[in-house]
Amino acid sequence: MSEDVQGQATDEASESSESSEATIAVHWREEGYIPPPPKFIGQANASDPAILDRFAEENFPECFREYADLLHWDEYWHTTLDTSDPPFWKWFAGGKLNASYNCVDRHLAGDRNKAALIWVPEPEDEADAVITYQELYRRVNEFAAVLQDLGVQAGDRVTLHMPMVPELPVTMLACARLGVVHSQVFAGFSGGACGGRIADSGSKILITMDGYYRSGDLLDHKVKADEAVEAARKEGQEVDKVLVWRRFPGQYSAKTPMVEGRDVFVDDLLADHRGAVVEPVSMPAEAPLFLMYTSGTTGRPKGCQHSTGGYLSYVAGTSKFYQDIHPDDTYWCMADIGWITGHSYIVYGPLALGTTTVLYEGTPNYPDAGRPWRVAERLGVNIFHTSPTAIRMLRKVGPDEPAKYDYHFKAMTTVGEPIEPEVYRWYFSTVGKGEAIITDTWWQTETGGFIGTGLPGLFPMKPGSCGPAALGIYLDILDENGDSIPKGSGKAGNIVSRAPWPGVFQTIWGQPERFVSTYFEKYNKDSGSTDWHDWPYFAGDGAVQSEDGYFRILGRVDDVINVAGHRLGTKELESSALSVEEVAEAAAVPVVDDVRGRVVEMYIALKPGNEASAEIEGKVKTAIETDIGKIARPKNIWIVPDMPKTRSGKIMRRVIASVSNFTDVGDITTLANPEVVDKIRDQVQSAKRAKGEEPRELSETEEHEIKTYGEQE
Ligand code: WTA
């Protein structure tokens, strides 16, 4: 890239202002713009600014026909947006379609022998699996026949706990073919976490795999199925069948025995359905397509329910215009299908557009930091999509690796967490070789697809900002009173979407009141209104908008810690720690981390009569790994003499968060036990120094997050 672009930062710090819970003053160096390369613009799906007019507010909601028209509809809809039961919006009401048909069957006529999926196994000496649309069609039909044979019907929920293998999209699309609601749980989650989600969704069938490769090891994954079934049973849900795909068909890779009568190998069942064809079930647009569980402020995870018509239209449209996917691209999103990113932008969006989507089984730096770039070179990947955590990690372990490989990206994406401008620049110049645009995409499990990001051919990039609102999305930043904070004021607040959009989730499975109270109550002024203007969507993120209309996302305003782009609920972590007999109190706090964005540290106070010990620490660690998964394992567990508390007994999380981050603990005069703060600081900070965890300078927004942590309750 040229020097002038990189060096173009101007200082636009604004006046300081009063700081309240959601309204903080933000001063940051305004980054310079990076224009999209002309070669990109020349071929971009959206390069004519007329598209902005087509999606202007006066054309809402009809503008979204343009997305829905990317699909095949069995019956056209009569009402684009039905607002009769707010905020349970119905998109494309009256329309009928099948998601599996749209992602598979309809591409056969023109692209039968084109690769739909290219699967890259983690072991480098194992061959890729190239699955054409024809082959995908065969596999989806055969597995749909298996499910049908088991009596599964439209509307039933089925839980999947599968790794990154082609059998996962096959399973999802087979469910979709039958109108069965799939609920895929990230394979890295524990059996216990999976069991809780089985129970919540009322699934009678669990679909899993015997094993998969991760960092060079073939993991026994089947053992988690047994734990999951047990955990679901404790919550009153019986699992009738566990369907076990085999990583190597015909050969069992797990040590855990199969349970007679309950567990079946999928390859055995498929043998009876060779060549089966199952008619896709024509589903109403508002029929649920899948559930995706995510963390919230209470311990119970939220099953975000996504629709068939609205969701599929939205991910197809955003894949086309923001990922710039053309049918002949080779697109690689290095996320896991167990998260929303993988559902929307590995499986449904790219396949709806009939492109080639790459799936990678393992860890990005296995066996070395050149792996992703070797894959890109070998497969001719030209669109690449990943998270800031992966970029930070690859930069740390192999800053010069990309230059060694002959690949050329036209477009790259970042998602899941704020990206530091410095990391952004490495992504742009080293990974993208200065040739590729970057779309920084802000969105959530709940939103189905990108909602804050600029069209890459029309808006210049600005490191650290996701860009303006996406097409047809009308974002705003509100203060605690619901008043709009003007752009360019330098003040942050709560980011909201003023209007619905087709990709928004429909409800929280089984908890419609929580859906309303978490996302809409805060800014709704009239609960009887059927006018969408009265129902802004509260996203739970703090943000600031600069003069040019670009948004910069500051992070969560609730009790969620974003570890490596994955949302972990503070309450889930704490209730897991509290399940350990000796533990009286537990508090989880975020610690700023150079690679993972945030990591979790857990503070523990013991019941009287117990002494701090490595054994109790170990029990807490095991409890969290068992209840949630290794991803949630705290970086440190501190057993402290007492928690800093207010006189009303509330744990002051901001105080311990500040201690863990080596920052000033702020005002502690309101504490009932201020003397404990010094003790905790000495204990924690000296232990950290002994481990080589030195203080790290925090940016202004990081410091704000830490110093106000837990104050929103
Ligand atoms: C954060 C992931 C900054 C945000 C798709 C959001 C981001 C949460 C960005 C959702 C981004 C996501 N810049 N922060 N581009 N994208 N986030 O549900 O706090 O796993 O609320 O969905 O991640 O995480 P989720």
pLDDT along the chain (713 residues), means of 10: 33 32 52 94 97 98 98 98 98 98 98 98 98 98 98 98 98 99 97 97 98 97 98 98 97 97 98 97 98 86 97 98 97 98 98 98 97 98 97 97 98 96 96 98 98 98 96 97 95 96 98 97 96 97 95 90 91 94 96 94 97 97 95 96 92 96 93 95 97 89 88 63
pLDDT at 19: 37
Give the pairing of strands 330-333 and 383-386.
parallel
* Cβ of 418 less than 6 Å from ligand 1: yes
Give me the helix-helix angle, 167-178 and 133-149, nearest 10°.
60
**472 DSSP assignment:** T
pLDDT digits (tens, 9 = 90+) for 26-79: 555 668 999 999 999 999 999 999 999 999 999 999 999 999 999 999 999 999
Q: 583 pairs with which residues across the strands?
A: 606
Q: Tally Cβ neighbours within 10 Å of residue 651.
A: 19
**559 DSSP assignment:** S
Measured between alpha carbons, how far is 691 from 483 in angstroms, rounded to an integer?
Answer: 47
Q: How far is CA 559 from CA 157, 297, 690, 709, in A?
A: 29, 5, 30, 8
Measured between alpha carbons, how far is 225 from 257 in angstroms, rounded to an integer?
Answer: 11
Q: Among 517, 511, 472, which residue's Cα sits nearest to residue 81?
A: 472
Instruction: Quickly tell me which residue has 């216990």 as its tokens.
Output: 192
Q: How far is CA 110 from CA 130, 133, 246, 258, in A?
A: 18, 10, 32, 43
Q: Specify whether the CB–CB gap between 210 and 187 falls below 8 A.
A: no
Q: Which of 302, 389, 417, 712 to mutate to test the pocket of ligand 1 (most atoms within 8 A of CB)?
A: 417
Going from the Cα of 415 to the center of ligand 1, the distance in angstroms, rounded, reads 7
Q: Is 443 helix (H, G, I), strand (E, B) or coil?
A: coil
* Cβ of 541 less than 6 Å from ligand 1: yes
Q: Is 603 helix (H, G, I), strand (E, B) or coil?
A: strand
Nearest CA to ligand 1 atom 8: 444
Nearest CA to ligand 1 atom 5: 444
Q: 161 pairs with which residues across the strands?
A: 208
Going from the Cα of 450 to the center of ligand 1, the distance in angstroms, rounded, reads 10
What pTM was estimated for this model as a whole? 0.94
Q: Is 541 helix (H, G, I), strand (E, B) or coil?
A: strand
Nearest CA to ligand 1 atom 25: 444
pLDDT at 695: 87
Q: Among 279, 216, 305, which residue's Cα sits nearest to residue 74?
A: 279
